[in-house]
Structure 1
Amino acid sequence: MCPVILPKDLPATATLINENIFVMNHERAQSQQIRPLEILFLNLMPTKIVTETQILRLLSNSLIQINVTFLQTSDYTSKHTPKSHLDTFYTTFEEIKDKSFDALIVSGAPVENMEFEDVQYWNELTRIFDYAEANVQSSLFICWGAQAALYYYYGIDKKPLEKKMFGIFEHENLDKNSPLMRGLDDVFYAPHSRHTGNSIEDIKEVRDLETLAYSKEAGPLLITDKSKRKVFITGHPEYDAETLSLEYFRDINAGLKIETPFNYFVDDDPEKGIKVTWRSTGSMIYNNWINYYVYQETPYNLKRDKK
C-alpha cells in the first residue's frame, strides 16, 4: 500500500502511525521514482488538527502515493488552532496560485447560518473556486464547503432546516454503476451535523449534476457533475467515532438545547456507548474518488498540461 506523504512533525503523522497506517516523510518520498498525487486541502474548520487527521486517515487507505498541501484563508485566521501549527504546516492562496494540483478538498465550516456573501473569507473562497476550474483535475467539497460550491457554481442555495440534522442516517445507493459508488452497499450509513441543507429538487434542475446517494431523512448525500471534476458530500463520512459525541456533550455542558444524535448511541442511550456504522462508507467513497476521479483522469505532467 502506498502512503500519504506527511511532515514528520505534523500531529496527524504520529496519530496515524500509532494506528498502523502507512505514512511516509518527504525525504523518503523524494528517493522514489514515482510521482505522487498532489492534493490541495483547504481546511476551513476551527479545529484544524482534528479535521486534518480525519481526512488524512481516509486518504491513507489509497494504494496511490499522495502529497498533501494544507491551505488556509488569508482573510480569516483560525482562533482555535495554534499559530505555530499554521505557520509550520499551512500555506496561503497567494503562495500556490501559480501551481497546479491533481485534486482539491474543501472542508466544511461552522458558518452555515450566515449568508454566503457575509462570510468573511467568501471573496477569497470564490477566487479559489475559480482557480480550481483551471488548475485542478477534481475537487471534493464537504458539508458547508459543498453548499458553498453548489451555490457559487450552480446557483443552488442552502435552505434552513426545522431542526438540526444530527446523527447517523441511512442512504440509498442511486447509481450502482457510478465509479464513485463502487463497492458501496445498496443501503449505507453516514453522519450529518448541520442546520441547513440542499433540496434534491433544486439539484435535479441542473442538468450537469447527478445525485448518487440519497436519504429520506437527510436528503442528498453525494452529488457529482458529469465531468467527474466536482464531487459534493453534504455529510461527514470522515468523522471519527467520537465526533458527534463530543459535539453533543459540549452543547449539553454549555446548557444548550440539543437532541440526542439520531441512530448513533447504542439503543439511543449516551450511557451505552457509540455504534459505528459508517467507517467503511468513508473509506470507500474517498478511495473511489482518488482512484477514478483523480488518479485515472489527471495528467502526469501537471505543469506542462496545466489547464
Structure 2
Amino acid sequence: MPIKIPGQLPAKEILERENIFVMDEARAQTQDIRPLKILILNLMPEKEKTEAQLLRFLGNSPIQVHISFLRLVSHEAKTTNKLHLDQFYEPFSEVQDKKFDGMIITGAPVEKLPYTDVDYWDELNDIMEWTKSHVTSTLHICWGAQAALYYHYGIEKYELQKKCFGVYPHKILKAHEKLVRGFDDIFLAPHSRYTDIDLEKMKKHPDLDILAQSDKAGVLLASSKDGKNIMVTGHLEYDAQTLADEYYRDLERGQNTQIPENYFPEDDPKRAPLHRWKSHCSLLFSNWLNYYVYQETPYEWD
C-alpha cells in the first residue's frame, strides 16, 4: 500500500530501505483517488520506532493511505523530541471535527496503574468516545486493547503473577471471520505485558467475538460484532529485535526479568532471534484495512 506520510518523517528513510512503497505529499497529489485516512494515537515511549513498525505493515496493499499522528495534551512525552511531536503530531483539538476511515491506538507502559490513575485517562476517554461517530474502525494494541475493553465493554484487567513475555503459539477460534482470513490454524505472536483481561467475561459479552487465543498467553485477537473495535493484546507489529531490546533494558534497570519464552534460539540471549510472526502481522493489517475500513467506510463522510 502506498502510504502518504510527511516527507521529513524519520521513518520514511527506514521504510524506503526496506522497499516499502512510501509516497510523500507531492506524489500523492498527482493521483486522482480518495486515500483512506488513518489516524494513529502513538502512546509508546519510543515513538519513532513505533512509527516505523506500524507504517511498515500499513504499506502492504494497493490502496493509498494518508497517515496522521495524534498526540495528547494532558501528558508530556519524556522520551521523544518535542520538535518531532510538534512537527508531525496534532492535538485532538485539531482533528476532532474530522472523520477518519480507520484509527490505531497503541499500547503504553502504564498497564500496572489503575486506569483512572493514568494522567491522560480522561483525554483518552474523550478520544475513544469520539471514535464511535468519527472513525469507521479502530485497531487497539496491547494496553490500548485493554483500555478499549474497559471503556467500551466494562471488562477490567488484572495483574499477572509473572510477566507475559515471549513468543507464543495461538489458535484460530473463528476461521470464517474476515480479520483472520489467510491465517494458519496455529500461528506465533509476541506478548510483553504484566496484566491480562478476564476471558470468561469476554466470552459472555454479547457484543464481542474472540478470534484467536493461546493456552499460555490468553486472548490475542478480539473484535466487536460490528467490526468498529478490533483488539490485539500482543505486539504482532514488533520487529525481531524488540523483545530483546526490552529484555536488556529491564536488566539494565535492575529488574528481575525472565528470558522471553520461545524467542531466542535455544533460550540463548547471545543468539539473534528470528522474525517468525511477520507474515501474520501483514495479513492482520491488510485484512483490517480491506474488510473493516475500505469495504465499510463511505466514499464521502456526511
Say whether 1:197 aligns with 2:212. no
Show the 5 A alignment for 1:136-285.
Answer: 136-285=135-284
Q: CA deviation at 1:218?
A: 0.4
Aligned-residue sequence identity (percent) comes to 50
Q: How many angstroms apart in 2 are the aligned matches of 1:201 and 1:63?
A: 39
- Counterpart CA distance in 1 for 2:253 and 2:298 is 50
**Structure 2 unaligned runs (5+)?**
none
How far 1:217 moved relative to its partner?
A: 0.3
**Cα offset, 1:30, TM superposition:** 1.2
Instruction: Indicate the residue corresponding to 1:66 in structure 2.
Output: 65
Q: CA contact under 8 A between 1:141 and 1:231: conserved in structure 2?
A: yes
1:199 touches 1:219 (CA, 8 Å); kept in 2? Answer: no
| Offset at residue 62 of structure 1 (A) | 2.1
Deviations 1:156-213 (A, max 9, x none): 0001101000000000011111100100000000000000011221101211100000
Whether 1:294 and 2:293 are equivalent positions in the alignment is yes
| 1:190-249 CA-partner distances (Å, limit 9, x unpaired) | 000000011221101211100000100000000001101110000000000110000111
- Give the total of aligned pairs: 302
Q: CA deviation at 1:38?
A: 0.2
Give the Cα separation in 2 of the matches to 1:276 and 1:240: 7
The corresponding residue for 2:37 is 38
Do the aligned residues in 2 keep the contact of 1:264 with 1:276 (CA within 8 Å)?
no
Rounded to whole Å, the distance in 1 between the matches of 2:232 and 2:253 is: 29
SS of alignment partner, residue 289 of structure 1 = helix
Distance 1:275 1:48 in 2: 23
Answer whether contact 1:228 1:293 (CA < 8 A) is retained.
yes
Report if the CA contact (8 A) 2:5-2:68 is conserved: no
RMSD: 0.8
Deviation at 1:149, TM superposition (A): 0.6
Unaligned ranges ≥5, structure 1? none
Structure 2 residue matching 1:257: 3-state secondary structure: coil
| Partner SS, residue 87 of structure 2 | helix
TM-score for the superposition, normalised by structure 2 = 0.99
1:68-105 alpha-carbon deviations (Å, 9 max, x no partner): 11001010021100011001000010111100000110
1:282 counterpart SS class:
helix
Q: TM-score, normalised by structure 1?
A: 0.97
How many angstroms apart in 1 are the aligned matches of 2:158 and 2:100?
32
1:125 is displaced (CA, Å) by 0.3
Q: Flag as ranges the 4+ runs of structure 1 deviating above 6 A.
A: none
Residue 230 of structure 2: SS of its match in structure 1? strand
